[in-house]
Structure 1
């Protein structure tokens, strides 16, 4: 039987009944009595809102909190434990929501909006290049050996210069800082393609949000998901892999993640990954990136941190690895995160859990036994889509 997580007001989709995790006597992991889902991301799509709301409901049940729909304009402290669907973009906004530390939210807080985007991953083309207020040279120096070769730019002129330098060693990937899930990306193989792709970008997008240019990986590409979670008094971390699927246009898009979650932080995760060289390296790179963010951005905090780490060969056959970007908010892998956290809470002696999220485009498919359905319907932007999470047994 499918354990359905949320009643979805879908456009033409079926509407399953809601069921929460079975209540079990367990030690309280938070002093908060209420958990509020705060939908503060204005461009969130229907399927994202529905699945994030469903995940927040399961978090509330897991933590023993009442669930509520929150308002970003609510007075301080009225929301209890906060689950926003976006990184909180300022320390003032965090205080307004009653967020004082990691124990008060599932997500993250940054001192300025650009810090939540992939643009922080690379240094500027030169020290006096245009950059937003609060730009950290310290961060770029700390992570330079943990990311791919690349630059972040905020003007067309700097983008041209960065592209010219990077093209000397092979094709360059261009990524809009505001792009999500692979959108807003292209690859330039020569100066002509670089010029055409830059000419197609509105100048104000670069000046307002920034652009990332980095070495493109062409072969043996493998993307890891590395995460650090704090849910009240419970701390866990994970490594896992992502998979792609095809959308209704036949394009490759995010199709889900499979995570191995362990009690404890990065030290415990490194021990768990000791026998897997690729995972071990990915954990080390993500840890460097996370610790640099904590040290270099005043006021930064994250109780939910996810890092995409890529490994692969460039056009010249060189093997490279690096953190691509960060997510300090509820995300695509959070259904699996919550399934694993629930398993750890249900059994205090359990040290690890393995769980997956799956996103399927097209007509509804039969769900596996024990799946938690977060969305099944027709989203106005992506069409028919099914999203679910699954906790694996030791044998699967």
Structure 2
């Protein structure tokens, strides 16, 4: 995945994509851009302007996964040393839709779809389907309902927003009718078995300035200012090196299984999507119980882009760069809605009244590596 090292970078820029960012997200990405620039010995110059930023030694931080090798080539993105994020060929590959097979008799299939990916990654994902039109969504939902409740997941939504669990055909039809079908036809829609007593683990890897860091961790949930349950942060245990370094640690069985499932999922992606390139890779792995009482685990989705755990990842990269002898560290990212008192050791990234989500505080913390926490 590392590819050949590119020339030293002179400037770091934020690259806008189709994804619309809230104010707090933009501010956080600017803060991370400044820290990544220091790692690279470069200057952070803000939003990318093709008319102004013509230096070939640019380092990009895209707001979402980049789509299309030609787009990457046009920007000069040829290796993981050129950007913080991921590059894939087709839209569905950038979303949750990549994590499930289609119906055997699906009536809509996107260009670039790989049956082999699901054969290779079958043991690493939950039971479910990805669909690309309304008719397939209804058929997939009814098939899954035979075994219990079904979770419907719009693939462009983040932080868990927009998801709904249905238990009857009528609820299924209502939920599907509320989807943006133009979005579904381009990006997909996921329907998967719903789990109870869920713990969501994070497994990932980042590469910046010649430093590779791998990690496992857990996510927390919180309520936003509208009372919706959303992503609230990540607690990460990070090591210098690749995934194999994680497996040398004394890991709990569920954590070790999460790491191996993420590795299997990523190996399948590398084998099946030849132009896939990513310097930031994060996988959410759910462990829970299905309606039949079976304990299940699997990758919910991949994040080949800057994401919610990235503030913690960057803090770890900074620490590893500052101390070549450091091998392990614990870092966390936090998102708190409404009034709060921040911890004394918080590194604040955003604190204010965001026009879209209301009052929110985002910060990171760093501690010595300690699995007893």
TM-score calculated relative to the size of structure 1: 0.88
Structure 1: distance between partners of 2:369 and 2:95: 36
Question: Does residue 388 of structure 1 match 2:363?
Answer: yes
The answer to whether the 8 Å contact 2:10/2:57 transfers is no
SS of alignment partner, residue 267 of structure 1: helix
Distance change (3 Å), C-alpha of 1:238 and 1:30: farther
Distance change (3 Å), C-alpha of 1:203 and 1:39: closer
The answer to whether the 8 Å contact 2:9/2:57 transfers is no
Q: What is the correspondence of 1:43-192 to structure 2 with a 5 Å cutoff? A: 43-71=20-48, 73=50, 78=56, 80-126=58-104, 129-192=107-170
Question: Does residue 338 of structure 1 match 2:298?
Answer: no
Q: What is the correspondence of 1:1-396 to structure 2 with a 5 Å cutoff? A: 31-71=8-48, 73=50, 78=56, 80-126=58-104, 129-218=107-196, 220-272=197-249, 274-363=250-339, 365-394=340-369
Structure 1: distance between partners of 2:54 and 2:149: 49
SS of alignment partner, residue 305 of structure 1: strand
Q: For 1:182-235, what per-residue CA distance to the aligned partner results, in whole angstroms no more than 9, with x for missing partners?
A: 1221111122211222223343332222211111002x2100111111113111
SS of alignment partner, residue 145 of structure 1: helix
The answer to whether the 8 Å contact 2:6/2:81 transfers is no
The answer to whether the 8 Å contact 1:225/1:242 transfers is yes
Distance change (3 Å), C-alpha of 1:353 and 1:222: same
The answer to whether the 8 Å contact 2:19/2:64 transfers is no
Segments of structure 1 that go 5 or more residues without pairing to the other structure are 1-27
The structural deviation recorded for 1:335 is 0.8
SS of alignment partner, residue 29 of structure 2: helix
Distance change (3 Å), C-alpha of 1:70 and 1:199: closer
Distance change (3 Å), C-alpha of 1:55 and 1:129: same
TM-score calculated relative to the size of structure 2: 0.93
Which residue pairs with 1:23 in the alignment? none
SS of alignment partner, residue 248 of structure 2: helix
SS of alignment partner, residue 259 of structure 1: strand
The structural deviation recorded for 1:63 is 2.3
SS of alignment partner, residue 67 of structure 2: coil
Count, aligned residues: 366
Distance change (3 Å), C-alpha of 1:206 and 1:222: same
Structure 1: distance between partners of 2:255 and 2:33: 29
Alpha-carbon RMSD across the aligned residues, in angstroms, is 1.9
